[in-house]
Amino acid sequence: MKLVIVTVVDYYKKDVIKLFKQAQINNFSESDIEGFKTSASVIQSSNWFASENSGADSELFFSFTEDENIDALFKLIKEFNTNLETNNPVRAIVVPIEKFI
């Protein structure tokens, strides 16, 4: 068993839920988060209010699941990200679990 963590901007929330279901990960949790990028772009640095950072509404999903489900999810996420028209890909990581009850 491993822990898979997925982050995504709000716009793709429903898509990620579908990806979890397609990967047969039927038990997962979701939480609203706010994502930030701290590097200043040219547009930001020329902005009068450049010192103000605004976050992007995002979602964090996580699930304790088996390797085969995670492999399926990663394959689906990779395919999903290749078809994006924005610069906001779905991000995912896996954390091994040493013990659980």
The pTM score is: 0.81
Cα–Cα dist 81/65, whole Å:
22
Domain segments of the chain as ranges: 2-35+56-96
The residue that leads in pLDDT, 77 or 35, is 77
C-alpha to C-alpha distance for 95 and 98, rounded to whole angstroms: 10
pLDDT band at 40 (very low <50, low <70, confident <90, very high): low
Six-digit token string for 69: 């489900």
Residues with Cβ < 8 Å from 93, sequence gap 6 or more?
A: 4, 5
What single letter denotes the amino acid at residue 85? Answer: E
Amino acid (1-letter code) at residue 42: V
What's 2-35+56-96's CATH class? alpha beta
Burial (CB count within 10 angstroms: exposed 0-12, middle 13-18, buried 19+), residue 25: buried
